[in-house]
A and B are shown apart, each in its own frame.
Chain A
Amino acid sequence: MNEQHKRSMISVQGIAKHYGDFKALERVDLEIEKGEFVVLLGASGCGKSTLLNLVTGFDKPTAGRIVVNGREVNKVDPHCGMVFQQYALFPWLTVIDNVAFGLKMKGIAKAERLQVARRFIEMVGLKGFEDKYPNALSGGMRQRVSIARVLANDPDVILLDEPFAALDAMTRQVLQDELLQIYEKSKKTIIFITHSIDEALLLSTRMLIMSARPGRVVTDIRNDLPMPRNAQVQLSPRYNELKGQIWDTVQSEVMRSLQATSH
């Protein structure tokens, strides 16, 4: 009974998104609770990004509705902060002005917004880089700025669309750790897109595996691995069991889509 009454942070109800004859998403239903770290996993073309674009309001669904924290999404809404794979930082603004951008849009006074921005810059480990322009930063640092920019805006939900895909393996690992720490500190609801099974296992509290043609959620797995997800966890039998289970699903999906394209 209690479960029924708990209001979801994100409620995706009967969503479909068609582009002409192409069914990017079909009959997607999802309830995501406050504080979950959900990873959307799937091969390219399964509608992961389409779903995220619907949650942010960048796109309108063909059918169904999405409710975020009690409000129905019908326009671009700053309550769902987005971290893009290509960082999307404003190159003409310094790090601190990028991070303070959302607060400026809300009309918050300069002194106050810079103070808030400074706090989040420190949180992502970029203290001392406040006055640098994005051009002067490495990819990993840019993505940190982008995360700080979303955090400073204090959204209900943080959406990350393959945020670490363009980074080298070492930097990716560091940023994954940092994101987990931020998650634990901020207790934000997070949706994270990836096609790396390891990344999904490392970060999530829950994994949704998506399948293409039509795009839909095929498997919903709770990730019960203990935190912190250090090297030891990654060597545990449970980790490998989960990985094997996901791989079986993903593999059959990939095979299916390969056959579909060869016809």
Chain B
Amino acid sequence: MISKAPSRMALAATSAASVLFFIALWEAVCRAGLVDPIFLPPPSAALGKAAAMLGDGTFWPHILASARRVMIGFLAATAVAIPLGIFLGTSSFARAVFDPILSFLRPLPSMSWIPLSLLWFGITETQKYSIVFMGCFAPAMVYVIEATRNVDPLLVRAAQNLGANRWQVMKEVILPGSLSQILSGFKVILGLAWTCVIAAELVAAREGLGFLIMNGKEFFQTEVVVLGMVLISTTVLITDFVFRHIENWVLRWKQ
């Protein structure tokens, strides 16, 4: 007998059951004393910690601090990368000027900027933004330049034929024509931005999710570490979800 493809509801229910089963198994293993709670606390302990932090008002500031750093660094990097990338994508001369610099910046992991940024800015918010910015900027440039080169040249011709000048071609054809590819690249970069901010906070910070797990480790509060990790994952998933909705709205002509 050929079974019918399961409905979306059924699949969602299966996923939910899988999550619940995994958490229950984890809890059971801890309760049974199979692992030392210092190494792996039960989920209930992490949940209890979350409730306590919500109670004394220390829960949201960490999430908001990290999210703010990600957003500012990411938006600054993309705000520079989009116009500059489109300019480089359409001018072979400008590419010749900037390509060597980009090629040098691109292989540098954002973490390698931490020592310099600490020297320049100290343990400040600016230092966090700069780490996120440096982690996102070069890859964002690469995505934008690549995307502009994939715009159908026929559309550029059509626009010129309708009277568009060089600047109008960039603004009215290259930008919208490459936006779809730019946004799918930026989704990857947004994930990168989170990696950058957590790394920066692990090294030196006074608040934020990276600070939370580092601090938890210092005081052997493993439930704080686990809670921090769960919060990082959840926050990234939520930002990704929001980003995808923005993307769908911007690219609504594709449907």
Question: Are A88's CB and B155's CB within 8 A?
Answer: yes
The contact of A88 among B158, B176, B253, by CB within 8 Å, is B158
* B8 interface hit (Cβ, 8 Å): no
A89 to B196 Cα, complex, angstroms: 41
Indicate whether A218 reaches chain B with its CB closer than 8 angstroms: no
Residue-by-residue, is B159-198 near A (CB-CB < 8 Å gives 1, otherwise 0)? Answer: 1111111001000110011010000000000000000000
Which of A92, A104, A149, A153 sits near B176, CB closer than 8 Å?
A92
Question: Quick check: A106 and B163 within 8 Å, CB to CB?
Answer: yes
Q: Which of A92-132 contact B (CB under 8 A)?
A: 92-94, 101-102, 104-106
Partner of B253, one of A92, A104, A105, A149: A92
State how many angstroms separate the Cβ of A203 from the closest Cβ of chain B. 21
- Determine whether the beta carbon of B254 is less than 8 Å from that of A88: no
Chain A residues near B157 (CB, 8 Å)?
58, 76, 82, 84, 88
Q: Contact between A82 and B158 (Cβ–Cβ < 8 Å)?
A: yes
Q: Please name all residues of chain A whose beta carbon is closer than 8 Å to the beta carbon of B158 when the two chains form the complex.
A: 82, 84, 88-90
Once bound together, how far apart are the Cα atoms of A135 and B255, in whole Å? Answer: 8
CA distance A82 to B160 in the complex (A): 10
The A66-85 residues at the B interface (CB cut-off 8 A) are 76, 78, 80-82, 84
Report the separation of the CA atoms of residues A76 and B165 in the bound assembly, to the nearest whole angstrom. 10
CB of B161 within 8 A of CB of A90, answer no
- Digit string of A148-167 for contact with B (CB within 8 Å is 1, else 0)? 01100100000000000000
- How many Å from the CB of B254 to the closest CB on chain A? 7
Interface string of A19-59 (1 = CB under 8 A from B): 00000000000000000000000000000000000001010
CB-based contact B161/A56 at 8 Å:
yes
CB distance from B186 to the nearest CB of A (A): 17
The answer to whether B163 touches A153, judged by C-beta atoms less than 8 angstroms apart, is: yes
Check if A153 sits within 8 Å of B253, measured CB to CB. Answer: no
B154: Cβ under 8 A from any A Cβ: yes
CB-CB < 8 A to B172: which residues of A? 90, 101, 104-105
The docked-state distance in angstroms from the alpha carbon of A58 to that of B154 is: 11
**Which residues of chain B (61-84) have a CB below 8 Å from chain A?**
none
A153 and B162 form a contact (CB under 8 A): yes
The secondary-structure label for the interface of chain A is loop
- Contact (Cβ within 8 A) B177 A76: no
Query: How far is B159's CA from A81's CA once the two chains are assembled, in angstroms?
Result: 10
| Contact across chains for B161 and A82 when beta carbons are under 8 A apart | yes
Contact in complex: B162, A101 (CB < 8 Å): yes
Q: Which residues of A contact B159 (CB under 8 A)?
A: 90, 101, 105
Interface size of B as a range: 20 to 34
Q: How large is the interface on A (under 10, 10 to 19, 20 to 34, 35 or more residues)?
A: 20 to 34
CA of A76 to CA of B163, assembled, Å: 8
Q: Is A135 touching B254 in the complex (CB atoms < 8 A)?
A: yes
Contact A81/B176 with A105-B168, A135-B253 known, Cβ cut-off 8 Å: no
Contact indicator A76/B253 (Cβ below 8 Å)? no
Contact between chains at B162 and A91 (CB < 8 Å): no
B168 lies within 8 A of A88 (CB): no
Given contacts A84-B154, A86-B154, A90-B173, contact A133 B253 (CB under 8 A): yes
Check A102/B253 contact, CB under 8 A, given A86-B154, A88-B157. Answer: no
| Contact in complex: A78, B161 (CB < 8 Å) | yes
Cβ-defined contact, A88 with B163, below 8 A:
no
Max count, chain A CB within 10 A of own CB: residue among B154, B160, B255: B160
Distance in angstroms between the alpha carbons of A80 and B161 in the assembled complex: 7
Which one of A88, A92, A150 contacts B154 once the chains associate, using CB atoms below 8 Å? A88
Q: Mark B235-255, 1 if CB is under 8 A from A, else 0.
A: 000000000000000010111
Task: Knowing that A58-B160, A88-B154, A93-B176 touch, tell me 18 more A-B residue pairs with CB under 8 angstroms.
Answer: A58-B161, A76-B157, A76-B161, A78-B162, A80-B161, A82-B157, A86-B154, A88-B155, A89-B158, A90-B176, A92-B177, A92-B251, A94-B253, A101-B159, A105-B168, A105-B172, A106-B163, A153-B163
Query: Which A residues are closer than 8 A to B by beta carbons?
Result: 56, 58, 76, 78, 80-82, 84, 86, 88-94, 101-102, 104-106, 133, 135, 149-150, 153
Which residues of chain B have a CB within 8 Å of any CB of chain A? 152, 154-155, 157-165, 168, 172-173, 176-177, 179, 251, 253-255
13 contacts between A and B (CB under 8 A): A56-B161, A76-B161, A82-B157, A84-B154, A90-B177, A91-B253, A92-B179, A102-B163, A105-B163, A149-B162, A150-B162, A153-B162, A153-B163
